[in-house]
């Protein structure tokens, strides 16, 4: 592998590491709410969820990062964004780029490997109220569940 290609792979790996940091902070905020939240400021970080929702080790520059966390965290960010759009009152009339990208992601089957999160995102696109009701369940499974699994690995 030439040096330029190695540098590109390292850059992709560093970006994926930053995405994991953003996801962990976003999860930390969800813990405060005890559900998914709809009040994004900077809590969701700067990572692009569409880059990570179905990434592979090869696409992020190599092994060693938690691919599952990247997938689930990207989907959680999408879900929280939809909840925020409902709470701000413009959705479904106003279709932001993020909403359009989420819909396209669903059409392309990019969330099919995360069936429960895919179903939740589909529900959220249809009904903010029903999504708010189901949000604590998704929180327990994915956010709190991530920390439970992490602790379980290290006890």
- State mean pLDDT over 23-29: 93
pTM, two decimals, is 0.92
Cβ atoms of residues 74 and 114 within 8 Å: no
Least confident of 41-55, 85-99, 103-117: 85-99
Q: What is the CA radius of gyration of the chain?
A: 16
Domain ranges of the chain: 3-153
Beta-carbon neighbour count of residue 5 at 10 Å? 9
Buried b (16+ CB within 10 A) or exposed e, 9-18: eeebbebbee
Find the distance separating the first CA and the last CA of the chain, reported in whole Å: 39
Residues constituting the chain:
155
**Among residues 69, 63, 30, which one has the least CA distance to residue 47?**
69
Q: What is the pLDDT of residues 97-115, one digit of tens each?
A: 999 999 999 999 999 999 9
């Amino acid at each position: 592998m030439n040096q330029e290609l190695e540098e590109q792979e390292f850059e992709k790996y560093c970006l994926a590491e930053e995405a994991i940091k953003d996801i962990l902070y976003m999860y930390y905020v969800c813990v405060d709410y005890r559900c998914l939240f709809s009040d994004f400021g900077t809590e969701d970080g700067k990572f692009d969820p569409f880059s990570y929702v179905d990434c592979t080790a090869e696409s992020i520059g190599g092994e060693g990062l938690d691919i599952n966390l990247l997938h689930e965290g990207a989907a959680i960010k999408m879900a929280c964004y939809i909840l925020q759009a409902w709470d701000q009152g413009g959705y479904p009339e106003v279709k932001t780029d993020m909403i359009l990208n989420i819909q396209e992601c669903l059409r392309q089957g990019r969330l099919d490997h995360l069936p429960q999160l895919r179903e939740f995102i589909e529900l959220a696109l249809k009904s903010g109220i029903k999504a708010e009701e189901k949000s604590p369940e998704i929180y327990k499974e994915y956010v709190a569940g991530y920390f439970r699994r992490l602790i379980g690995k290290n006890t």
